[in-house]
Chain A
Amino acid sequence: MTTPGEFAEFLPAYLAEVDELLASAQRDLLAVEEAVRRGAAQPRAVRELFRALHTIKGLSAMVDVEPIVSVAHWMEASLRVADQAGGRLPESSVEPLVEGLRAIEQRVRQLGAGKPPSPAPANLLERLEALGPQVLEAAPREPRAVVLDAQAAFASKLAPSEREQLEGGLAGGQRAVRLDFVPSSERAAKGLNINTVRERVAKHGDIVKVLPLSGAAAGGASLAFALLLLTHSEDAALLEAVGGAPATVRSLAVAAPLAPPAAGPSAPPPAAGPSPALLPAMPGALGVPGPEDDLDEPEVRRGGGLLRVEVSRLDEAMEWLAALVVNRSRLTRAVTALTAAGAPTRELAAILQENGRQLRDLRSAILRLRMVRVGDVLERLPLLVRGLRRTTGKAVRLELDVGDAELDKAVADRLMPALVHLVRNAVDHALELPDERLAAGKPPEGLVRLGCHARSSGQLEITLRDDGRGVDAKAVAQAANAPVPESVDGLLDLLCRPGLSTRQEATSTSGRGMGMDIVRRIVVEQLGGELRMETRKGAGTTFTLRVPLTVTLVDAIVFECAGLKYAVAVGTVEELIDVDALKVVRPAGADGLGLLERRGAAVPLVSLERLLERTAPGDAQGARGTKALIVRQRGEPVAFAVDRLLGQQEIVLRPLEDPLVRVAGVAGATDLGDGMPTLVLDLGALGAARVGRRMGAARSGGWAS
């Protein structure tokens, strides 16, 4: 056994990888459930699910997380049986598997929060253990067989689930082809290797199997890879995907299914069920989770070239970049001086110009690192809707049309709870029960459609549409104890009132948790976006959200001054100090400015209250605050007196872009979570703008104890 801690340093990487595996496992399980309901097999998803659990188990054993090992072990065991039985699972197995994934996820969260993982629930383990025999019972007696003419090499190597996959594809009108790719150093140098070829080929169909060949089988090459593919694509397109000759394409003549399989001489099927990872051939939806209906063709390969990086490291890179930019302006000044002195600086100036471009490119490259695909962000919604289907008893279809838009991770993290709430609301409140829908002349299955696309304005527009009953303005008005609003905007305002609920009872799904007021706060106040609504009685409701693609996150010190809250970026504050009013010296002629001692040097003390003109100019109280923030101003420390420090927190900085509102010394506004806009101050600039001259006077007054 491993001694605990042997691989402790790998824990963060372990958690990140398990997180990714869980996400793909959840998607695969949804696909399996879809197939189960249709009574179909889902060989690829089962195989992928099996492999994900197998990997989770192995990794968890290495880092010594026994509860996850146990859960993953029993899930894996039943999935192995299902894989060998051609990818069929009984309906009764889905729920325990969902719970198993959830149990693993909970423990991953605990570990991520630095807590020990809870033991595996005994009752869940028992149910998972009992799955194996159930799966076996549900397996078809005679595995179906596909015969590939003159392709004994393939036929003998195919696992039952792969045969099933081939059979399904052929029945669905795809053709089976064999593509041969010959690797070489030259091709590898051009980026053409088996991994990239595989990815390119996967865009043309479903790869059932890949076999390495050598000697005569490789057609004279020392090594060739034969890809068995189900596809609708033309030969020419396939050949192009594998980099042209010496690659070859040949169609495989496929005979009608026969039993028993024309296996090679007593070749055993591979025990562990080799598992191709596949990309779906969904037109227009490559690489993004498609509408739920398409989930039986899931994108199962993911995270291949992905790297998880802590956001703080990106911020660090940004800081270094800022230092570079500062250095560059010094360089520019130096060159200007040289030019003025008559030096030949033409080349230097050209280099400097190029350098400026490179810095801008570097900046946008670093910013891009923070972007995540909207499709990846939304991948949990299908699972959410699945849960809602069960708890509400409503038939509902979720359509996602997310394209390939990208979004700042910081925006995505904040936006997700709002979207989850809107989807819950749509299913729980807006959609009618199947009977009701039929009576209203609608299809029994409700539709929730989430679409989004990036707009040229640097915003992401998200629409969430349901075909439910629409918002009942009268009921909302009654619940809010207000007159029936005349406009839909007025109705939205009512809906967004804190604490409003048109339900008498909290439902188990929407609960009384987050209301529309929180949705609006996230979208409008926190992210600086817009929230709109359209609704038609009996026809449905559409919410339109517009949020910026990116936001600026700042670690801020929050303080109170003259009864108002303000924030200031931590990075700009050199020190927080207590102010002892008795030790503040107020030299004559300094207009109320004080001086305090800090490590033997005099530091001007400025009253922020006066600076912000929160007190009448006649009030000669000067700096009364008991705390002060020390900020550098043109290299000199200046203390800003404030009333009270309220703490430190990460804020979303919303720059004040309207030139009419822009004020020197105000970096922007933020929402601290209380729904009130709070100004984010730039104390250095604020002081410089207002008190530069007076301060000089104070300083010349000297320090006198």
Chain B
Amino acid sequence: MPEVLVVDDSKVMREMVVACLRPYPDSRFTQASSGLEAIEQLSLKAYDLLVLDLNMPDIGGIEVVEFVRGQDQLRALPIIIVTTRGDEASRERALGAGASLFMTKPFTPDSLQGAARSLLEKASDEASRG
């Protein structure tokens, strides 16, 4: 039962992301409206996937990725960055900081779901191989 943390300061955007991923079997969703809230959530509970917006108040998505990758227990957490056209310049920095995938709005439900599926399956393969 994958636990997914969806982080965006726009409520509509979070709901769109959840709607895209909902068909993935048995996933459970937690929403956070800021990067800080996401970091707090990650410290309180284990998640299998992080879907992260780049542009948020206080600290942006890239800073969240940097922080997450600095934590031993979160080094392997799959992270999908979802961002808006025009942010492509951030792509290198996000991937460099350790994001797993970078998606640009607008995206289709299928593309986001496919990305989530492949990351989750890869993570569970690695876990089963030990």
Taking Cβ atoms with an 8 Å cutoff, the residues of A that contact B are: 1-3, 6-7, 10, 13-14, 17, 51, 54-55, 57-59, 61-62, 64, 69, 73, 76-77, 157, 183-185, 188, 193-195, 198, 207, 209-212, 214, 222-223, 225, 270-272, 274-277, 301, 304
Contact = CB atoms under 8 A, between A and B. Distances in A.
13 contacts: A1-B106, A51-B9, A54-B84, A55-B55, A59-B10, A62-B16, A64-B106, A188-B40, A195-B34, A210-B36, A212-B39, A214-B70, A223-B40
A62 B58 CA distance: 24
A465 to B, nearest CB: 38
Nearest to A306: B11
A274 B63 contact: yes
B51 to A, nearest CB: 14
A61 B84 contact: yes
Nearest to B36: A194
| Chain A interface helix/strand/loop/mixed | mixed
B71 interface: yes
B107 interface: yes
Contacts of B62: 270-272
B44 A275 contact: no
B108 A210 contact: no
Contacts of B60: 270, 272, 274
A58 B10 contact: yes
Interface in B74-112: 83-87, 89-90, 93, 105-109
Contacts of B67: 212, 214
Contacts of A13: 11-12, 15
Nearest to B53: A58
B50 interface: no
A232 to B, nearest CB: 22
Given A76-B86, A183-B44, A185-B44, A62 B37 contact: no
A59 B89 contact: no
A62 B111 CA distance: 13
Interface residues of B, number: 41
Nearest to A77: B86
B44 A14 contact: no
Contact of A223 (B19, B39, B83): B39
A525 B60 CA distance: 52
Contacts of A10: 12, 15-16, 19
Interface of B: 9-13, 15-16, 19, 33-34, 36-37, 39-40, 43-44, 54-60, 62-63, 67, 70-71, 83-87, 89-90, 93, 105-109
B55 A62 contact: no
Given A6-B108, A76-B86, A210 B59 contact: yes
A3 B84 CA distance: 17
A214 B71 CA distance: 8
B10 A17 contact: yes
Contacts of A209: 58
Contacts of B33: 195, 304
A207 B71 CA distance: 26
A194 B60 CA distance: 15
A59 B59 contact: no
B40 A51 contact: no
Contacts of B106: 1-2, 61-62, 64
B10 A55 contact: yes
A58 B84 contact: yes
B11 A17 contact: yes
A195 B10 CA distance: 15
A59 B57 contact: no
Given A1-B106, A6-B108, 10 more contacts: A2-B107, A7-B19, A10-B12, A54-B55, A57-B85, A59-B12, A62-B106, A212-B39, A222-B43, A223-B40
A524 to B, nearest CB: 40
Contacts of B13: 55, 58-59, 62
A559 to B, nearest CB: 43
A437 to B, nearest CB: 43
Contacts of A188: 40, 44
Contact of B86 (A73, A211, A276): A73
Contacts of B87: 272
B16 to A, nearest CB: 6
Contacts of B108: 2-3, 6
A91 B32 CA distance: 37
A58 B10 CA distance: 10
Contacts of A51: 9, 55-57
Contacts of B109: 6
A209 to B, nearest CB: 7
B11 A275 contact: no
Nearest to A54: B55
Given A183-B43, A185-B44, A274 B86 contact: no
Contacts of B9: 51, 55
A201 to B, nearest CB: 12
Contacts of A275: 56-58
A61 B84 CA distance: 8
Nearest to B82: A58
Contacts of A183: 40, 43-44
A525 B71 CA distance: 66
Contacts of B70: 214
Contacts of A157: 63
B68 to A, nearest CB: 9
A210 B85 CA distance: 26
B43 to A, nearest CB: 4
Contact of B37 (A3, A17, A194): A194
Contacts of B107: 2
Given A58-B84, A193-B40, A272 B12 contact: no
Nearest to A72: B84
A185 B60 CA distance: 24
B66 to A, nearest CB: 10
A449 B105 CA distance: 45
Contacts of A184: 44
A446 B70 CA distance: 58
Contacts of B11: 13, 17
A51 B8 CA distance: 12
A161 to B, nearest CB: 13
Considering the complex of A and B, which 4 residue pairs feature the smallest CB-CB distances, nearest first?
A: A58-B84, A2-B106, A223-B43, A61-B106
A51 B87 CA distance: 13
Contacts of B90: 271-272
A274 B10 contact: no
Contact of A7 (B16, B58, B59): B16
Contact of B58 (A59, A76, A274): A274
B71 to A, nearest CB: 6
Nearest to A159: B60
Nearest to A184: B44
A194 B44 CA distance: 12
